[in-house]
Structure 1
């Protein structure tokens, strides 16, 4: 074994652990484009899904079959017809859709049945359940165009789906639905996945797609959205990692109606619908990146674009529910001597003094404020930012909030004790003073053997 491996694996695994805890027992709906399967990536994708389920995530999988359907139609010498961004499904296309759906169902179930050694499927036992969970209705005639057997989701049997995933099974939904009269309708994967996520009030809806996400430039300049659309195919273009629902709706209004899945508005329209329908987080990620699903779910920044009703990152005062997160955050810094060790009892007692910064329910930064009103000052202690997100300005954001709290108390300064981060505080207006400067109550607890430097910042 490579001797360097433990030094890279252990910190990585510890960084992933908070996300594993946060997602255990949650319900994810994953919308899988048929392009991923056509590209030969089904096996690795299934292995990643197996890992997620092993970590306690309840999964509903909705698959598409656009390229597979096109292949069936070409084999029969039939031409595809589209209007209003939807396929017109005649009787030949309906037969081809049924064949494509049946073939993909077989391939997906077979992939989940593998138990290959040295893969994520080794020892896995995953039951995949499919059935008549989707009730459909016809699109009908739109602007004089008859869509024939093309349909829209009328209802998802959420009770039956929830019963299956509660029992530990994975539910698979094909883009097919049936009316109350038994008619079959060709649906889109995006409509099925979105409707299922809303019906289940899923914690996440994840589209694994042809596109990388929503481009930053388009988000920043929605008035130029049409002009900037071409940059979608630029591999160097920056992706907006998190997009507020309000911004997503504003952008969607500026974009033309989507005609194909690679148009920005195509997946964005479904993301907005799901978010407005109560789905907490909607993700758009690229299938071309190996492990994209795991990176999006188990890393801080993810890989694609996440649409949320409000920004996930929040800076706030701590509560008793945050004690465990604070302990987990500061423990490595206590072990290497950067911070003085604090017991759980101490943190529980002083939790109201802490300010925390969290992202998606995981605490990534904290600091405590201990006032000495008789001396007109306060100590900022345990300022910590996770190593995995350092350099993004979170430390300064916490410092500013601590300064605001101190000013609100009528204090004229704050001070810190540090042995290793003097330069960081110097750059932010702190100046060194003799330890005898400390308020009497704090001076009595000063550990002279640590030789901590005392740095003070005036707030007036």
Structure 2
């Protein structure tokens, strides 16, 4: 039994190591919904955050309290009032929010203080520090609606937060802000988390939410989760959706992810709190489990058009000459331009890959994966691979395969497994060059 465990644990732990190295000393802002706490998930989430911090990540935790405030209002015989997707905070609602925030702060600090033997928190020393890090301003009147004590973030005390993080503490921020006159405002957790992430220029903004992520078809609740969404695509999606006013609306968290990415946060995530360990799975597993919005800035990952053929040819030609790639007929590239995915920077193509499907066998060949020598070792090969995988999944395919003579190990590190050439679809097997003796590697698409 222990031998079997060793054979599964050791490779898994080794696969996680690159992410541990990559994220050490980075800053993550985590937005934790009040619904997650109400669902009894706080203890396990605190354990996971403590482990992430122990691996060298600086954490800012912003908690929400929607259901807790609503419960306080109910106990006082009051109803929650909303408009334009925000709570209308009258004096009674403000009192309820303050009571809920105080209680939740106590619960969160207690969760990070647990340390029983034989639990993930054994030996953990997580210092939780809160403070008046947020300056707020009133929402005021919108379309004749007075939001009273509801506010928006005016300023974030980045110096104070950064100094606290550098001390090794976890920064806990409640969705409250104060005006220079000392007036308190009830804020949205999403607004606070996004504003803090942008102000700190954090490496990640992560929302632990009621929804599993953004679906490939936002109107189909059964479609797959889109695990990686480029910023441009996310903006187009928001524009095509109804105005999001509820947390369960597809665009509700997405609009904050877009705002964060536009403000300089390169990665924003939407993940479900209902799945145990979702934080660890999203951060330390290659494909993740929620939706990641990626700011590609000046770079664009997109499908090629006929106008890109000359750029693709110029990119792959040196690799054909040195034998890394099989020489492709230029007419074939022109004919199959739509099969190619490219990475473009300022109008120059410096990465490409093609997808040739074999629908009857539910598989596809990824061919001509190429990254310009000036851009190698920057993750662009992985970005092309991810986009090709997304295209293959969208076509209902179950695997992709590659033929290579020189880059076998690169593919194996990314989940491909070597198979015998006889595995190939019949149509592809007939074109296989036995003299070249290319290795065939396959990756199953989950």
| TM-score for the superposition, normalised by structure 1 | 0.71
Paired residue for 1:444? none
Of the candidates 277, 291, 298, which is equivalent to residue 305 of structure 1? Answer: 291
Q: CA offsets, 1:191-238, max 9 Å, x none?
A: 0000000000000000000011111013xxxxxxxxx2xx34xxx431
Paired residue for 2:397? none
Residues 186 and 352 of structure 1: is their aligned pair in 2 closer, same or farther, counting only changes over 3 Å?
Answer: closer
Helix, strand or coil at the partner of 2:408? strand
Helix, strand or coil at the partner of 1:126? coil
Paired residue for 1:260? 246
After TM superposition, give the deviation of residue 361 of structure 1 in Å.
Answer: 8.2
Tell me if structure 1 keeps the 8 A contact 2:30–2:61: yes
Residues 285 and 309 of structure 1: is their aligned pair in 2 closer, same or farther, counting only changes over 3 Å?
Answer: same
Paired residue for 1:133? 133
For 1:288 and 1:251, locate their aligned partners in 2 and report how far apart those are by CA, in whole Å: 25
For 2:125 and 2:384, locate their aligned partners in 1 and report how far apart those are by CA, in whole Å: 33
Tell me if structure 1 keeps the 8 A contact 2:405–2:438: no
For 1:313 and 1:21, locate their aligned partners in 2 and report how far apart those are by CA, in whole Å: 26
Paired residue for 2:319? none
Residues 258 and 423 of structure 1: is their aligned pair in 2 closer, same or farther, counting only changes over 3 Å?
Answer: same
Tell me if structure 2 keeps the 8 A contact 1:215–1:238: yes
Helix, strand or coil at the partner of 2:18? helix
Query: What is the alpha-carbon root mean square deviation over aligned residues?
Result: 3.1
Paired residue for 1:99? 99
Mapping for residues 120-269 of structure 1, pairs under 5 Å = 120-218=120-218, 228=219, 231-232=220-221, 236-269=222-255
Mapping for residues 350-365 of structure 1, pairs under 5 Å = 358=379
Tell me if structure 2 keeps the 8 A contact 1:19–1:362: no
Helix, strand or coil at the partner of 2:152? strand
Runs of 4+ aligned structure 1 residues displaced above 2 Å come to 310-317, 351-365, 379-391, 419-433, 454-457
Mapping for residues 333-348 of structure 1, pairs under 5 Å = none
Stretch moving more, 164-173 or 381-390: 381-390
Matched, 1:455 2:437: yes
Residues 167 and 427 of structure 1: is their aligned pair in 2 closer, same or farther, counting only changes over 3 Å?
Answer: farther
After TM superposition, give the deviation of residue 141 of structure 1 in Å.
Answer: 0.5
Paired residue for 2:329? none
For 2:83 and 2:384, locate their aligned partners in 1 and report how far apart those are by CA, in whole Å: 47
Tell me if structure 1 keeps the 8 A contact 2:405–2:437: no
Helix, strand or coil at the partner of 1:238? coil
Paired residue for 1:381? 406
Matched, 1:285 2:285: no
Tell me if structure 2 keeps the 8 A contact 1:356–1:363: no
Residues 177 and 261 of structure 1: is their aligned pair in 2 closer, same or farther, counting only changes over 3 Å?
Answer: same
For 1:354 and 1:77, locate their aligned partners in 2 and report how far apart those are by CA, in whole Å: 62
Paired residue for 2:62? 62
Of the candidates 422, 431, 434, which is equivalent to residue 432 of structure 1? Answer: 434
For 2:229 and 2:383, locate their aligned partners in 1 and report how far apart those are by CA, in whole Å: 19
Helix, strand or coil at the partner of 1:123? coil
After TM superposition, give the deviation of residue 384 of structure 1 in Å.
Answer: 2.2
After TM superposition, give the deviation of residue 313 of structure 1 in Å.
Answer: 8.7
Paired residue for 1:408? none
Matched, 1:390 2:415: yes
For 2:421 and 2:144, locate their aligned partners in 1 and report how far apart those are by CA, in whole Å: 72
Tell me if structure 2 keeps the 8 A contact 1:313–1:357: no
For 1:383 and 1:279, locate their aligned partners in 2 and report how far apart those are by CA, in whole Å: 34
Q: Which runs of 5+ in 2 are unaligned?
A: 303-311, 317-371, 387-403, 440-446
Tell me if structure 1 keeps the 8 A contact 2:64–2:189: yes
Tell me if structure 2 keeps the 8 A contact 1:206–1:282: yes
After TM superposition, give the deviation of residue 68 of structure 1 in Å.
Answer: 0.5
For 2:430 and 2:292, locate their aligned partners in 1 and report how far apart those are by CA, in whole Å: 33
Paired residue for 2:260? 274
| TM-score for the superposition, normalised by structure 2 | 0.73
For 1:420 and 1:360, locate their aligned partners in 2 and report how far apart those are by CA, in whole Å: 22
Residues 71 and 238 of structure 1: is their aligned pair in 2 closer, same or farther, counting only changes over 3 Å?
Answer: same
For 1:72 and 1:428, locate their aligned partners in 2 and report how far apart those are by CA, in whole Å: 71
Residues 3 and 193 of structure 1: is their aligned pair in 2 closer, same or farther, counting only changes over 3 Å?
Answer: same
